[in-house]
Chain A
Amino acid sequence: MSTFLVFVATSDGKIKRSSLEVLSHARSQAEKRGMLLAAAVVDTDATRYSDEIQSYGAKTIYAISNPVFKTHLNASLIQALSTIIETAKPSIFACASTEATKDVLGALGASFNAAVLPDVASFELTDNGVSALRPVMAAKVLSQNTATGDLILISVRSGSYDSAKSPVTAEVKNIGFQPSDFAAVLREILTSAGEKVDLSEAQVVVAAGRGVKDEVGRKLIEDLSEVLGAAIGASRAVVETGLFPATAQIGQTGKVVSPQLYFAIGISGAVQHTAGMANSKVIVAINKDADAPIFQMATYGLVGDLFKILPLLTEELRKLK
């Protein structure tokens, strides 16, 4: 029986939602093709996730625990995933597309001489490999791609699939790991105050665009996000002006988010931005330009002045709490 291996990424003691989405879709694909579903976990304490992983149907869990995985460094993650791939010998390896996996996917592809389908919007197994759709040309169109080979690596955009449980009892295999002497050294991690909530995992995102203009506007965004417990996002325009940190950038060159609720505030809706948020479940747009393209995709669109609407909205939401 061939193996479908899913890399389950963790952050701050929690499995990332985007990884559970991939695991859920992988399970249905593995079942159709009679494959064994396995998971790979790499963490300071990888076995603590076993209960949750088996509840999503992974029958074998390959776990590597080591203190080096407290932080991300491509060399150590590549070494760990390579060790698991050599042990599990999967024919398909899938993971959620994040900055961490984008940092290692090409290297794994090159060292295993594998086919790689990065950042796909959907995929399915076929008789001779994998077929997948990828957004290309600044996310204006989808390309239909195929991959063949003994090992195919896939990364999946967040929000592409719903996560769904299907419990089994998994066999946990702890894999010994001794970090190599890496040439690259992680010196420090710089985090800004706005990163209290992990943007790419957030259930609610409040995103600011050019219409937010200044510090007064930014304060309104911060107030709204606080009452909602939301992460703050931004379009490239307000990151370039320095009003919001680069970490907040959503879009083709920034992060891809897929929350339950997305507020696009003063964002016109250029494709470079919407490429990063189109998978959101409910989109609220607030913009004074009634013709802004964002209204074409918003679930609820408010045409009006954000400087008047946001204080009232924050106040109303605060009353509900």
Chain B
Amino acid sequence: MKFIVCIKQVPDVSAPIQIRNGELSMDSDRMVINAYDASAVEEALVLTEKHGGSVDVVLIGPDKAKETIRKALAMGADAGHHIALEDGAGLDSAAYASILKAFFEKQSYDIIAVGKQSQDTDAGLAGSMLATHLNLPYAANAVGLELEDKTLVVKRQGDTGQEMIGLPTPCLVTCSNDMNNPRIPSLKGIMSSKKKPVETYTMDSLGLDLNSLRSDVVKTNTQSYKNMPAREPGKKFDGDAEELVGTLVNLLQNEAKVI
């Protein structure tokens, strides 16, 4: 099986964030591989180690983002594809899905794996948009993958229970970070990643034009950011367990009136 995993470089969301004049400002400029994408890479590696095959990764981003391709190669992916985009400002999920569509139309693959969402925007749209553009069967929010001959068996987390879905290849799957813990690249992996091939594509080489993407495909825009409204802290009690329980039951009954 040939996997191609779509990966994205994102800011480290665990770093402190401030908002200045409606714009985000982060204490750290540290950029990382999107955690959900890292799980998709990991699962593709596990399946190819077991059943044979190869894992490519593709990333859209500036030159600096190639470090994230190297990270995936160090984990064990075989080859990288870098779609060069120095300034992605103003592009939405639909635009990224269109760029990936143009890329995949020139590739051969059995399974496209992507993170279920990006940890910076949490939109979770690009995967199913791409599957629709490529007319592929897909499953979202996978928490486990298995291969049976030419079928990818996806365990997906649904609203109630987990749904087992058989997808004939070629297909697409969006991955949760709950399915595995991505491996930390070994020193050997890091050394060998430097010799692995990374091919670069331009918008031009994919037959795309950024201006027409911005005018024809993009339909949503992020205007500004603001702080999450905080809940008012309520009442806090300390004491022995019996006293605490008596206080709580009284408040739930007579003040909040929820029991």
Contact = CB atoms under 8 A, between A and B. Distances in A.
Interface stretch (B52-60, B61-69, B76-84, B234-242): B234-242
Contact of B133 (A74, A104, A110, A135): A110
A303 interface: yes
Interface in A67-108: 71-75, 98-100, 102-107
B166 A145 contact: no
A184 interface: yes
B165 A187 contact: yes
A141 B19 contact: yes
A261 interface: yes
A190 B159 contact: no
Contacts of B245: 309, 312-313, 316
Interface string B117-146: 001111111111111110001111101000
A140 B128 contact: no
Interface stretch (A27-35, A114-122, A164-172): A114-122
B158 interface: yes
A105 B162 contact: no
Interface residues of A, number: 90
B140 A313 contact: no
Given A135-B228, A246-B157, A246-B162, A145 B220 contact: yes
A188 interface: yes
Contact of A297 (B93, B166, B231, B238): B231
A295 to B, nearest CB: 5
Q: How large is the interface on B (under 10, 10 to 19, 20 to 34, 35 or more residues)?
A: 35 or more
Given A114-B219, A300-B256, 16 more contacts: A98-B159, A102-B124, A103-B139, A115-B220, A116-B125, A118-B123, A139-B228, A184-B138, A186-B163, A189-B161, A190-B164, A192-B161, A239-B178, A302-B244, A302-B247, A302-B248
Contacts of A104: 128
B221 A146 contact: yes
A305 B162 CA distance: 34
Contact of A99 (B153, B158, B227, B252): B158
Contacts of B119: 138
B223 interface: yes
A178 interface: no
Contacts of B226: 141-142, 144
A174 interface: no
The 4 closest A-B pairs by CB, nearest first: A106-B128, A115-B219, A191-B161, A106-B125
A248 B216 CA distance: 41
A140 B93 CA distance: 21
Contacts of A99: 141, 157-159
A308 interface: yes
B184 interface: no
B94 interface: yes
B132 A300 contact: no
Contacts of A198: 159-160
B168 A298 contact: no
Contact of B233 (A11, A190, A195, A298): A298
Contacts, number: 265
A160 to B, nearest CB: 12
B21 interface: no
Interface in A191-221: 191-192, 195, 198-200, 204
B9 interface: no
B165 A186 contact: yes
Contacts of A103: 128, 139-141, 156
A60 interface: no
Contacts of B140: 74, 102-103
A145 B121 CA distance: 12
A261 B161 contact: no
A138 B13 CA distance: 6
A243 interface: no
23 contacts: A71-B163, A74-B140, A102-B140, A103-B141, A106-B125, A106-B127, A110-B133, A134-B121, A139-B122, A142-B229, A145-B220, A146-B221, A148-B219, A184-B166, A191-B160, A247-B162, A253-B177, A282-B258, A299-B234, A300-B252, A303-B236, A304-B240, A312-B241
Interface in A292-321: 295-305, 308-309, 312-313, 316-317, 320
Nearest to A78: B132
A225 interface: no
A136 B228 CA distance: 10
